[in-house]
Chain A
Amino acid sequence: MILVNIESLSVDELKGIAAQEGIGNIDLLSREEIIELLREKYEEDDDSGMNELDPNLRYLSGITDYRGISDYVEGLPGVEELPDSYPETEVHLLMRSSSWVYCYWSIAPAISDQIAEKGGSVALRVSIINGGKSEVYDVPVSLSDSEWNIGIPYGDGYCSVSLISTVEGESKELAVSGRVGLIYPYWLFHKEEMADNDSLYRIYVSLITSKDGSMVHNAPVRDIITAFREADVDE
């Protein structure tokens, strides 16, 4: 597994992941130190090229990247400010990648105040249905939180999240997200066929490998290629 754009996660999210990974003394560590430790933990491959200009990307940035004129647009016509959140209780899930989903939510002020007054707590109940099996676990969040990234596996199934409040020992489902389908790469679930498909492997590789030997940046691709190599295909 790789950590994609880990720099973009908040300190709270980083601490949450670090705790899940068994990293101790999190509160004593700086944001950069947590990122470094997580990278080591996930053995992110420095040669993966994730930090290079991705040749897949559109050239829009090429059109705009020389500007650096932020002050100039300050004078654009103003519009009403957007609220920090909306006064409804809801939870949403968006797929970021094959290994992460992004969850955001809001809690109506009246409900939020009630939970706070009674010393209650809030959690995200993550449900992952994968290949007919169900995995459910809670991620404790604070009333001031409103977003979280959740790890997901490959598989044939989906992930959903419920927003749960617990007040005076009683849990209540406040909102449920829609489902996000898991990524199901055929080859990662049929590794036994790999050894008999040398020729097919070469064809696959020829589409996604550039002349300098680098491959398209994608976690399932990397895992599939690794599995093919482990199956000892003739390259």
Chain B
Amino acid sequence: MNKVNLILHAHLPYVRHIEYPKFLEENWLFESLNETYIPMLRMLDRIDKDGVNYRISICFSPTLVTMLTDAALQERFVNYMNERIELGEKEVERTRTEDTECHEMAKRYLGYAKVNLETFESYERNILTGYKNLADRNRIELLTTAATHAYLPLYKDYPTAINAQVIMGLRTHKRVFGQSAKGFWLPECGYYPGLDEVLAGNGVSWCQLAAHSVISARDKSIYGGYKPVELPSSVIGFPRDWDLTSLVWSGTFGYPCDSDYRDFYKDIGYSLPLEYIRPYIHEPEIRCFTAFKYHAITGKTEDKKFYDPDKAAEKVKLHIDNFLYSIKRKGIMLEASGISDPVFNLCFDAELFGHRWFEGIEFLEGFLRGAGESSDYELTTPTSIILEDSEKEKLAVNESSWGIGGYSDTWLDGSNAWIYRHIRKAIDRMQELTHRFPDQGSLKGRFLNQASRELLLAMSSDWPCIMHDNTSVTYAEKRLRNHLGSFNVVYSSMSRNTVNTEWLINAERRNVIFPDIDYNLFDPDKAETY
């Protein structure tokens, strides 16, 4: 039997700018809700009702769950969806007489927008309730990750900061989902020897690991990553199967690259006349995605053919069959090599399915149905595997990540190395503040708590990642400087024994995250655990 651990990681950086009527980067959340989180919930709910015997694991990062449960952002998402519906109605009319090849898809997009908004409202705007229901029915194992998705290996010599990231991740999960997480998604698969001790100390049972961590481990592995790995602390590591995940993930040969699939980039927000599209792009006239895309990938050409959903659906079936076959064939090969009941750990970013790969939700549904109905596969979760107490091997693993080169080069290169001087200094200073001002209540306590919030937000792996990728660099830099600057406001004010109350109230309103944070987490002398 091939044991399949499908582990999805849903994460977005904390972006909330309600001081603006609209803020473009908030669309990261809205697009992912509309195209991934809501349709995926509906799909998982549907196959559960159909009695499909499926299990998957999903990590919702603390920053994402905070945004998904934020009333202001929920309201803004409803506005976003109402705009999609209004645009959809206009598009259905427009494509009756022009671009008529797009008419069918225009109707579909309008339908998707309506049903997504209905789903959203049916959960009283908190879709996490739906995922929690599925977890209660034992379909999903929910897990968490570091508080702000910090890339932990670069902070390993600051145990307080590592502990704060772990504790606030677990605490946020418990507050939102009502139960403790057993699994902890290592941001960017970033592991270093000793991190598992911190996880174990906080009650975590398992984490995922980078694929290359097994062959390059400090010990000799005899299962090659096809059985769980018992790390020195007894936390269980699940190494990612790079071969199987790349069938989906590869930007050159992965399934989503198929020429018949819908193109991600060609969007009417960029192509239709401004006077028509202006109400649905960003003010004043910044073109952006609208979610209305009518072309297929076609190939490396500007001249894209129109998207044919039926043709794409045929390809989805082929790709599902190929994926199932690839797992089965690999299982046979491993069996012949003496490894029975191999465990395949398939780790993906959730936003790939639906948002980036339009047909991805359909693919997932077909895969779960296919695997769930076949005796060749057992869809499972890491915690179930641990409870079975099946074979595992003890292994000491070197530092590793899933970034380029397998270490820290993505988050520490010429574009972003400068940030660590400042963030690590802020950690030093936060530790210093906990000693100078221990156990403060009232305004001073709130001021110090805000400093620890700003510090955690500055530690997010998203900012150096964006700088490395050279994408929304200006925004990432602004955010980082903003959080560090805010931290310095507290540090310099406290050094003068003053509290800037007006600043504090504004800062608390700006970053409504980690309401239960306690700055004493950063006290090196207090080894607080979750």
Interface residues of A (CB under 8 A from B): 4-5, 7-10, 50, 52-67, 69-70, 72-74, 76-77, 79-82, 85-86, 92, 94-98, 102, 104, 106, 147, 178, 181, 183-187, 190, 193, 199-200, 202-204, 206-212, 216-221, 224
Docked-complex contact A184 and B252, CB < 8 angstroms: no
Given contacts A67-B471, A216-B406, 14 further A-B contacts (CB under 8 A): A5-B414, A55-B246, A56-B210, A57-B403, A64-B466, A80-B489, A94-B412, A96-B409, A97-B407, A102-B412, A186-B219, A203-B223, A211-B326, A220-B406
Question: Which stretch (B362-370, B380-388, B420-428) binds chain A?
Answer: B420-428
Query: Across the interface, which residues of B come within 8 angstroms of A53, CB to CB?
Result: 251-252
Q: Within the complex, which residue of B28, B226, B252, B338 is in contact with A212, where a contact is CB–CB below 8 Å?
A: B252
Q: In whole Å, how far is B290's beta carbon from the nearest beta carbon of chain A?
A: 12
Q: Within the complex, which residue of A9, A10, A57 is in contact with B404, where a contact is CB–CB below 8 Å?
A: A57
Query: Across the interface, which residues of A come within 8 angstroms of B252, CB to CB?
Result: 52-53, 212
Query: Across the interface, which residues of B come within 8 angstroms of A63, CB to CB?
Result: 12, 28, 31-32, 351, 355-356
Docked-complex contact B215 and A207, CB < 8 angstroms: yes
Q: In whole Å, how far is A193's beta carbon from the nearest beta carbon of chain B?
A: 8
Docked-complex contact A210 and B242, CB < 8 angstroms: yes
Docked-complex contact A98 and B404, CB < 8 angstroms: no
Question: Which stretch (B127-135, B306-314, B479-487) binds chain A?
Answer: B479-487
Docked-complex contact B398 and A207, CB < 8 angstroms: no
Check if B153 is an interface residue, CB within 8 A of chain A.
Answer: yes
Q: A52-B252, A199-B338 are known contacts. Are A82 and B481 too (CB-CB below 8 A)?
A: yes
Closest residue of A by beta carbon distance from B224: A203
The CA-CA distance from A60 to B476 in the complex, in Å, is 12
Q: Per-residue CB proximity of B246-257 to A under 8 Å, as 1/0?
A: 110111111000
Query: Across the interface, which residues of B come within 8 angstroms of A8, CB to CB?
Result: 413-415, 417
Q: Within the complex, which residue of B333, B402, B474 is in contact with A70, where a contact is CB–CB below 8 Å?
A: B474
Docked-complex contact A208 and B352, CB < 8 angstroms: no
The CA-CA distance from A96 to B253 in the complex, in Å, is 29
Q: In whole Å, how far is B209's beta carbon from the nearest beta carbon of chain A?
A: 11
Query: Across the interface, which residues of B come within 8 angstroms of A60, CB to CB?
Result: 11-13, 349, 462, 465-466, 469
Docked-complex contact B402 and A79, CB < 8 angstroms: no
Interface residues of B (CB under 8 A from A): 9, 11-13, 19, 24-25, 28, 31-32, 153-154, 157, 188-189, 193, 210-212, 214-226, 239, 241-243, 245-247, 249-254, 264-265, 282, 286, 288-289, 326, 330, 333-334, 337-339, 349, 351-352, 355-356, 398-399, 402-410, 412-415, 417, 420-422, 424-425, 462, 465-466, 469, 471-475, 478, 481-482, 484-486, 488-489
Query: Across the interface, which residues of A come within 8 angstroms of B466, CB to CB?
Result: 60-61, 64
Query: Across the interface, which residues of A come within 8 angstroms of B241, CB to CB?
Result: 207
Docked-complex contact A224 and B216, CB < 8 angstroms: yes
Closest residue of B by beta carbon distance from A76: B478
Residue among B220, B334, B406 with max Cβ neighbours from chain A (10 Å) = B406
Docked-complex contact B154 and A94, CB < 8 angstroms: yes
Query: Across the interface, which residues of A come within 8 angstroms of B250, CB to CB?
Result: 55, 210, 212
Closest 3 CB pairs of A and B: A79-B485, A8-B414, A218-B406
Q: In whole Å, how far is A173's beta carbon from the nearest beta carbon of chain B?
A: 19
Docked-complex contact A220 and B222, CB < 8 angstroms: no
Docked-complex contact A59 and B356, CB < 8 angstroms: yes
Docked-complex contact A58 and B337, CB < 8 angstroms: no
The CA-CA distance from A186 to B217 in the complex, in Å, is 6
Docked-complex contact A184 and B218, CB < 8 angstroms: yes
Docked-complex contact B243 and A200, CB < 8 angstroms: no
Q: Within the complex, which residue of A10, A187, A202, A217 is in contact with B337, where a contact is CB–CB below 8 Å?
A: A202
Q: In whole Å, how far is B222's beta carbon from the nearest beta carbon of chain A?
A: 7
The CA-CA distance from A149 to B211 in the complex, in Å, is 26
Q: A66-B289, A104-B421 are known contacts. Are A208 and B242 too (CB-CB below 8 A)?
A: yes
Q: A186-B217, A208-B212 are known contacts. Are A66 and B265 too (CB-CB below 8 A)?
A: yes
Docked-complex contact B399 and A95, CB < 8 angstroms: yes
Q: Within the complex, which residue of B28, B251, B351, B420 is in contact with A52, where a contact is CB–CB below 8 Å?
A: B251
The CA-CA distance from A57 to B409 in the complex, in Å, is 12
Q: In whole Å, how far is B190's beta carbon from the nearest beta carbon of chain A?
A: 11
Docked-complex contact A187 and B220, CB < 8 angstroms: yes
Query: Across the interface, which residues of B come within 8 angstroms of A81, CB to CB?
Result: 481, 485
Query: Across the interface, which residues of A come within 8 angstroms of B19, CB to CB?
Result: 77
Docked-complex contact B356 and A210, CB < 8 angstroms: no
Query: Across the interface, which residues of B come within 8 angstroms of A106, CB to CB?
Result: 421
Query: Across the interface, which residues of B come within 8 angstroms of A216, CB to CB?
Result: 211-212, 242, 406
Docked-complex contact B406 and A64, CB < 8 angstroms: no
Query: Across the interface, which residues of B come within 8 angstroms of A65, CB to CB?
Result: 469, 471
Docked-complex contact B220 and A218, CB < 8 angstroms: no
Can you list 22 A-B pairs with a CB-CB distance of less than 8 A?
Answer: A53-B251, A55-B254, A62-B351, A64-B469, A65-B471, A67-B472, A67-B475, A70-B472, A76-B482, A77-B19, A82-B422, A94-B412, A96-B409, A97-B408, A98-B398, A102-B417, A104-B421, A199-B338, A204-B225, A206-B334, A210-B246, A221-B212
